[in-house]
Structure formats: structure tokens, C-alpha cells
Chain A
Amino acid sequence: MSSAASTAKIPSPLRLLLQVNLLQMWRKFRTANDQSSLLVGTLIVFLTGYTVLASALFYRALHFAGRFPGLGEMLIERMIYLLFSFLFLLLLFSNVVIGYTNLFRNKETAFLITLPISAQDIFRWKFLESTLLASWAFLLLIAPLLGAYGLEQGAPWHFYLLAPVLIALFIVLPAVFGCWIAITIARHLDRRLFQLLAVFVVLLAFLGLRAYWKPEVLDDENMESRVISVLDRLLTKTRFSQFPFLPSYWLSSGVLHWVEGALSAAIFFVLVLLSNVAFFGLLGFTGTGRFFYSAISATHSRSHVLAQWKWFRNWTSRRRQFHYRAGPMEWFLGLVPRLEPDTRAVLLKDMRVFWRDTAQWGQTLVLFALIAVYVSNLRHFTQQLANPFWVHLCSYMNLAACSLNLATLTTRFVFPQFSLEGKRLWIVGLAPLGLVRVVRVKLMLAVVASLIVTLPLIWFSCHMLKLPLEQKIYFAGAVIVMTFTLNSLAIGLGALYPNLKEDQPSKIVTGFGGTFCLVLSFLYIVGSVLLLAFSSPWGGMDFVSPNFKVLGWVGFAGLSVALGWLPYRWGLRRVATFEH
């Protein structure tokens, strides 16, 4: 057959896959530009603004730390080691999540498996794709830092050429390890066991971090007279970041030595990084295909992992005799008074869908666990600072951090909610409750779920800062308003800019509406926190006249209405006349 098998000029399968996917990406960009130049404009302005602002902030921070008498250089050095070691961990986590989704829950992979492409080639392509998807945020974060560091230290011109090469090498290692972990998980764990493991690992990490960084309580006298000793202990606690087998250590050392002009030492670390990348990259690129094939076959053949035991099989066979019993979620919703049955059904469906998609709540869990670690250590902060200005500054920073986290979640999870109904509109849209109520129910669920996290978090952080009750109530009120606004904004824009063809939430978010939502959320948080901070009745803001303070609160309320209530109303109006 295939008389056409003259293969001399035909590109390799990997090259074909790269060509096709690059073409797809280019078309997506062009379509986005054709449909809305505003999207591209918004993106460019946001990225430029972010880069300039982040570079300036990093530059000032490095300059400030560098002025610390006698220890400035050492502090900066340690901060760089610490930063890269944490970024390595985050990159690894990001690669596991994205690698798993991209390798095992992707329609393209299942399609490619049936074509004459080796499992190794499919893995190669998916590995490249996952690495880029998992690492772009890292590049965005690290570029301004390295730029600012080079400027602050007066680095030679060739540093700016080397830095991108080093970063490109660095992202390969977490990508390879992340894909290997993803393959192991896919091969051996089903969804439920993975969920249990994820919760267990996060809890363990939380407890481990708390135990390791158990803060030492220092009084003011200690702070003033024993600075060197305190710093010495701080440096000891963070010495793990200089563990010589960490890839982040090789990268940091390469960067630091290059900036210092110690080129031979820098080249040594670059070569260490390069040789590891070459070794693990080669293993990944040549020897992972068959493991990947076994894992993908396992994911398509999966029953419950416990089914190998008889007791589980007997239990499931008893369950197969259908006796419907309400699960915990249904039982919980049953306790809510005056909830209409159709509203309860929509709520229950949304909660179940969210819970059963581990990739969704796994990221949420990690984000808020990090904040919880930070907040739980705040109590030591107040013992070290007597000046109420710093305590209040910290409380407003907490409000900003909590809201920023919430904004990433509302954009990532709440914004796509309406679009996700796209393929189910035949049932939800045609049901007697109507789309308007569906959207209202979604807002209700999103707000309640968000408040369950944000309200205790803010209250707890205020408690840790030993703020009096009236201030706790003030911040609780602020976070309630901000939670409502951010969720309304996400739901409203989600209804105004739906993508009904896509069923992957992460892809829905990358459109104009999602980007716009993120940008507006960010601007809202910055504006709100600044207005609230300047209108603060406490914390040494006496220089602001009472009239301006009132104006600040009115401004906060106005901003909340403009960015929360209005998009939500427009979204509802659009949904009421929606043609599907």
C-alpha cells in the first residue's frame, strides 16, 4: 500500500506537530487581534506597565537591602538563592499539574496515539508544550528581577545575554521532573487517591514549613543590640537554599558570580547546569515514551485503584444496587433554609463538578495554604514592632494579598462559569429557572465559597496583628465588599464575553474577557487598598483631613459599584436576551 512513502523531504513527526501547533497559536493570536484590538492593546499595556513597575520595585528593594551596613551584599545574595529555590519548587508543582493535564487529559494526545507517531515523539511534543505553558509566568516574574539586579550591581553587558540562556536551561529541569511525577501519578493513582495524596502533601508541607521556620520571638532590645546575631540565625535558617545539589543553587551561583565578574566560577556553574540539563533532558527526550504509553493506557483503562481488593469490589457491587442516598454536599445544602429545589440542583451540580476536578481545587488549596502559613506567623511580627504605622501598613498589605489571591481565583474559576454552561445550555438554558437565575445562583455560590476563605483569613490576620475589635470589623467589612465586587466582576464579564465552544476553563480564561477581568480586578484591588489606607482612621493617618477620608470611603464604594455591580447588571441583561 502507501505507494506514497517517499519520505526524503517530509518533515519528522515532531517537526510537523511543532509546525501545526505554532500555526494554530499564530491563528489564535490573529483572530484575537481581528476580533478585538482592545484585547491586544490591553495585554501590551498591562505587560509593559507590569515590567516597568516590577523592575522599578525590584531595583528599589535591592538597593534598600544593599545599603544594610556590612551585610547588604550577603542579604541580597541569600535572597536570590532563596527566591530561585522557591521558584524551582513552584515550577515543579506547575509542571506536574500542567504536565498531567496536557499528557493525559488532552484530546490531541488520544488522537495522536492512533497515528503512526511513536509514543516517544508524542511525549516529546507534549513535554515541550507543557514546559512552555508551565514556565511562562516564571519568565514574566524573573525577567524584571534579573534586569533590576544587573542594573543595581552595574553588571557588564554580556550578563544580559547570559541571563536568558541560564533561565532557558533552568526551566528544563523542573519540566523533566514534573513530567516524570505526572507520569507516575497517572500510572499508579486514580482520581480519589490523588485527591487524598494532594491534601496530605499540602498539609505535610504546611506543618513542615511551620515547624522549620518556627519564628524566634525577639524584643526591641534584642533587635537593636544583637542585629548581627539575629541575622546570623536568619542566614542559618535559610541555608538550605545553598544546598549544592539544588538546580536553583547552580543558577543563582552562575548569576551572582557573573555579575561579580568572577567569570570562571560563573562558567563552572553554567556548565554544571548545562550538563544536568543535557543528562536529564536526554533521558526525558529518549527514554520516557514507553512509560508515558503505559501511563496513558492505564488512565484510559482506569477503575478504582482499590478494586484490586475483594472487600472494595464487594462494597462497590453492593453500591451498584441503586439506593440513592444524599452525599455530604446535598445534605449540607438541605440544611440551608428557603432554598428552591431548582436552585439547590444548580448549586449541587456546580459544587460536584468543582470538587471532582482535582486540578481546579488543588491550585486553590496551595495558594491559600501559602497565605495561611504567612498569616499564622504574623503574631511574631507585632512583638517586634512597636510602631502602629508598620502594623497598620501590614494589615492593609494583608488585605491586598488576600484580595489578589481571590482575584486570581475569581478570574480562573468564576469567570469561566457561564461559558462552561455552553455545551449544557440545552438543559440549563431551557429549564424553567432561566439563565438569569442560573447566573445569580453562580454568583451566590462563588461569593459564599470565597467568603468562607477570605473572611476567616482576614479576621485571623487581624487577630494575629492584635488589632482591636473595631479594626477587625472594619477589615472584615472591606473584604466582604471586595469579595462581592471581585466575584460580580468575574461573573458579569463571564456573561458578557462568553466562550461557549471551549470546555477547558484554563483556555476560556485566556481570551479577551478573562484578561480584561484580571486587569480590572488588579486595578480595583490597588485602587481600593490605597483609598482605604489613606482613609484609615488609625495608624498615623492623621495628616489626611476627615473630609478626604470620607471621600476615600465614598471612592471605595463607587469603585466597588462601578467594577462589581455594573458589569454584573450588564451581564444579567445580556443573559436575559441570550440566543442559544
Chain B
Amino acid sequence: MIELKNLVKHFGDLVAVNDLSLTIGRGEFFAVLGPNAAGKTTTIKILTGLIKPTSGSASVCGFDVQEQPLEVRRRLSYVPDFPFLYDKLTPWEFLRFTGQLFRMDEEAIQRSTRELIPRFNLESYLRQPIESLSHGTRQRIAIVSALMHDPEVFVLDEPMVGLDPHHTRVVKDVLKERSLRGMTIFLSTHQLSIAEEMADRIGIIHHGRLIAVGTGEQLRQQSGTDGALEKSFLSLTAQEANFVEEKAALKDRAPEITIA
């Protein structure tokens, strides 16, 4: 469903994504963790077609993101941490608009929203202008609009920001259900507990590299720690940081050496 092959993204001299390869299968719930500026959002931006990779390729459902962007976007939904919504529209108008952009007819929109709107407790907000709604409510509207057309791949960047515990639970439940029904989910988060609870596999990105990937248990083994996932995460990112520092020091001492 999602295939990233030797993905590299440079911002000038900064390597934001460094030779990242990853395959995520149909119905898989994949969570990606990483410190700030690790390259998670850049990877998502490449995946959603917002930016071009410097080299390598990304494909969704067998379609190359750069070569066949429309085919990809028909099958993929994306919700960022601060989604854009049209402030002067009502949630209902916004949902119809996005549904139509995904070529859903009126009946399909009705059917889909009838299921999702009560689930996300949005009934009482449907006729209010979006500008008057709280961040959490806007976030729920964005998630509903993304789920309406039942995408094959759902990419979320910190979707729980601003959500109260009740709606965080709702989002988690809906995502899990959809994943069991075959939707591939790519979730970027800093909340380790959510990753551990929800994901089939977890990837850790640091300095643009995918330094570890596997289930929670596999990550613990890989890091040589036990207990909370936090320990494994800190251990793995610290190891990577040491490695990068050593590599830089070695490069300073012997610039002619090429280090992978």
C-alpha cells in the first residue's frame, strides 16, 4: 500500500530524510515516532505530494506519488496537526465540499456522514460557522472529512492535538476499526502510548533515517531495554545521536573516508 524506496530529501545542506526505505501493507497500522525535526513531517509531505523528494520514490497503492499524483490523492487522505478549514463555511458545507472533491455523489455523502457525524459528536455544530468552533472540534471535522470517502491510505500528523480524552478515544476506536477493515494508516505522533496501543508496527526516525522498525516488543529487544516504550525510544535515539557525532568526528579527522 505504501512503499518508500531510498527516499532522500535535502533542504540545502540539511538532509531531512536520509535513504529511507519502508513498506507498509494493506490494513496495517503504522506509527512513526521521532524527536523534533527528525524528518517525520517531511516524509509525510513527500507521501502526500506536497514536496518532491531529492531522490528515491514514494508510491501509494502502486501509484508513484510524483508520476501519478491524482491517482494517489484519490486513494489517500491526510490530516495535519493544524488542518486548514474554510472559516466561513459550516461543518456540513465543508464536508459536502470535500466529499464532492472526492467525486462522491449526494447519496454517498449522506450515507457516510450519517455514520461519522454522530460518532464524532458533531451534530450540534453542523450549522455553526467553523470560525466559531474550538480547535478540537475543528480537528474532528477534519478527520471526518478525511474518512468520508473511505480512503485506502490514511496519513495523520499528530491528530490528537487539542482533542479531549473522550474524543481521543473515539478517534482511536474509529482508526482501529478502519484498519481492521483494510485501511492502511500512517500515524506520526509524539505520544508513545498511542503508538504502542494502536500500531501494528512502529518506526523510529532520527536524523532523517529510519533507525528502528518493528512491534513494541521488537523495539525493546533491539534497544536492549525492557518496560515502557519510552525507554526503548530514548535508548535508540541516543545510540543514533552518538553514532552521528562519532561519524562527524571521524569525518573531520579523515575527510577522504566515505561513511554510510
Identify the A interface with B (CB < 8 A).
1-7, 9-11, 13, 16, 20, 23-24, 27-28, 31, 107-108, 110-111, 113-119, 294, 296-297, 300-304, 307-308, 313, 316-317, 501
Contact = CB atoms under 8 A, between A and B. Distances in A.
A113 B51 CA distance: 10
28 contacts: A1-B149, A1-B150, A1-B151, A2-B103, A3-B108, A4-B105, A5-B103, A9-B105, A16-B101, A20-B89, A20-B93, A24-B86, A27-B89, A110-B50, A110-B84, A114-B48, A114-B49, A114-B78, A116-B70, A116-B101, A116-B102, A118-B69, A297-B50, A300-B45, A300-B51, A301-B9, A303-B11, A303-B13
A301 B105 contact: no
A20 B100 CA distance: 11
Nearest to A306: B12
Contact of B50 (A5, A24, A28, A114): A114
Nearest to B150: A1
A197 to B, nearest CB: 19
Interface in B78-137: 78, 83-84, 86-89, 93, 97-109, 111-112, 129, 131
Given A20-B89, A24-B89, A301-B9, A1 B152 contact: yes
B60 to A, nearest CB: 12
Interface of B: 9-14, 45, 48-52, 69-70, 73-76, 78, 83-84, 86-89, 93, 97-109, 111-112, 129, 131, 149-152
Nearest to B45: A300
Contacts of A3: 108, 150
B108 A303 contact: no
B108 A4 contact: yes
Nearest to B182: A1
B73 A6 contact: no
A7 B97 CA distance: 14
Contacts of B150: 1-3
Contacts of A119: 69
Nearest to B74: A116
B51 A301 contact: yes
Shortest 9 CB-CB contacts between residues of A and residues of B: A303-B12, A4-B108, A307-B12, A111-B84, A27-B88, A4-B104, A116-B73, A24-B88, A303-B11
Given A111-B83, A115-B73, A316-B13, A294 B52 contact: yes
Contacts of A302: 11-12
A369 to B, nearest CB: 32
B50 A300 contact: yes
Contacts of B89: 20, 23-24, 27
A114 B129 CA distance: 23
A113 B66 CA distance: 12
Given A4-B102, A301-B11, 16 more contacts: A2-B150, A3-B150, A4-B107, A4-B109, A16-B97, A16-B100, A16-B101, A107-B84, A110-B50, A111-B84, A113-B50, A116-B102, A117-B101, A297-B52, A300-B51, A301-B9
Contacts of B109: 4
Given A23-B89, A114-B50, A116-B73, A2 B102 contact: yes
A110 B52 CA distance: 14
B101 A115 contact: yes
B180 to A, nearest CB: 15
